[in-house]
Amino acid sequence: MKVLLLKDITNLGKRLEVKEVNEGYARNFLFTKGLAVVADSPKARLALEDAKKSTRRSEKSTSIQKAFADKLENKVIELKRQTTESGTLYASINPQEIVEEVSKKLHIDLNPARIKINEPIKRMGAHKVRYGKGSLQTEFKVIVSALSSKSQNSNNK
């Protein structure tokens, strides 16, 4: 009996492969556990269509992520923040603040969960930041500088 595997099965095959198995094995184990369907059934056709749609969705998502990565590659984002007299920031810069600045300057909407910062940004200077997931990651710089003393004084009033 030919069956379409719905999940990877050790010693039998991978998901969406058509395999020839004994009828008893198919009916008593594979079908009852939901691991396979008859290869020429409507359920098999639906499973294949769903797999194709899923593949198209993931390809589209990958192309969008690649476009974001290309736009961000080697860009420099500058953030101005209030600092102490010793040059450290009052509060560390979080991914949400970076996303907002990228949105303002580059008109790109990013997901803050995909921003990776090696260490908290708590001091002025250049910091490398990675954005992405899996193999589609890009790196850009965030430069933190102090607000001018006039700006700090006007904010305090």
- Domain assignments of the chain as residue spans, ordered by start: 2-64, 69-156
Chain centroid to CA 115: how far?
9
pTM of the model: 0.59
How many secondary structure helices (H) and strands (E) does the chain include?
4, 9
How much of the chain, in percent, has pLDDT values that exceed 90?
42
- Looking at domain 2-64, its CATH class is alpha beta
Q: What is the DSSP letter of 94?
A: P
User: Taking residues 104-129, what's their average pLDDT?
Assistant: 89
> What's the pLDDT at 10?
92
Higher pLDDT, 23 or 107: 23
Mean pLDDT score across all residues of the chain: 87
- Are 134 and 114 in contact by the 8 Å Cβ rule? The answer is no
**pLDDT confidence of residue 7:** 92
The CATH number of 69-156, from 3.40.50.10490, 3.40.1130.10, 3.10.430.100, 3.40.50.2000, is: 3.10.430.100
